[in-house]
Amino acid sequence: MKKLKQHLIILHTTALLLSGWGGWWLMQAVFPVYYFAWYPYIPAFFLVIGIIFISVLDNVRRMNLRKSVNLYMLLRFSKVLASLIFAGIYFFAVKVQLREFGIVFISFYLLYLTLETYYFYLTENEIKKNKVNE
């Protein structure tokens, strides 16, 4: 499971760095009018949230199926709550280029949602493989 955790962290970091740099380049080169100062914080936020998710997901293998589903739903709720708090801070405190922030934030949220689903799929396959080998 440690190999899987390392693989997921590397995959998550690579995906967010590439999409973050790609988005930054796109906003600087093609749409410089839409660039906003808080852009780098969005990929960083999802990087931290993802590493926390992967670390907690690594502990799922020791739980029974019912507890793992509950934990997964709790992680989803926590991610939504943390995202709402992060976006709310921007919307109420900064109040600059709200539409651009919202579009970029939702884009990264959807990317993260896709990655998170893939991580859960890989983790469940690893758990099933370990149960068959036991």
Q: pLDDT (tens digit, 9 = 90+) per residue, 36-52?
A: 889 999 999 999 999 99
User: 57-61, 99-103, 115-119: lowest mean pLDDT where?
Assistant: 57-61
- Structurally, the chain folds into a number of domains equal to 1
Greatest pairwise CA separation for the chain in angstroms: 58
The CA distance from 77 to 16, in Å, is: 21
Q: Check: CB of residue 35 under 8 Å from CB of residue 27.
A: yes
Burial class (CB in 10 A: 0-12, 13-18, 19+), 122: middle
Mean pLDDT of 100-107: 94
Residue 130 clears pLDDT 90, i.e. is over it: no
User: Percent of the chain at pLDDT above 70?
Assistant: 93
Q: pLDDT at residue 123 above 90?
A: no
Using one digit for the tens of pLDDT, what is the confidence trace for 56-83? 877 766 666 667 778 888 888 999 999 9
Domain that holds residue 7: 2-133
What's the whole-number average pLDDT of the chain?
A: 87
The alpha carbon of 73 is separated from its chain's Cα centroid by a whole number of angstroms, namely 15
Q: Which two tokens stand for residue 49?
A: 């949230």
Looking at residue 116, what is its pLDDT?
Answer: 87
What's the pTM value of the predicted model, to 2 decimals? 0.86
User: Which one has a higher pLDDT value, 23 or 125?
Assistant: 23
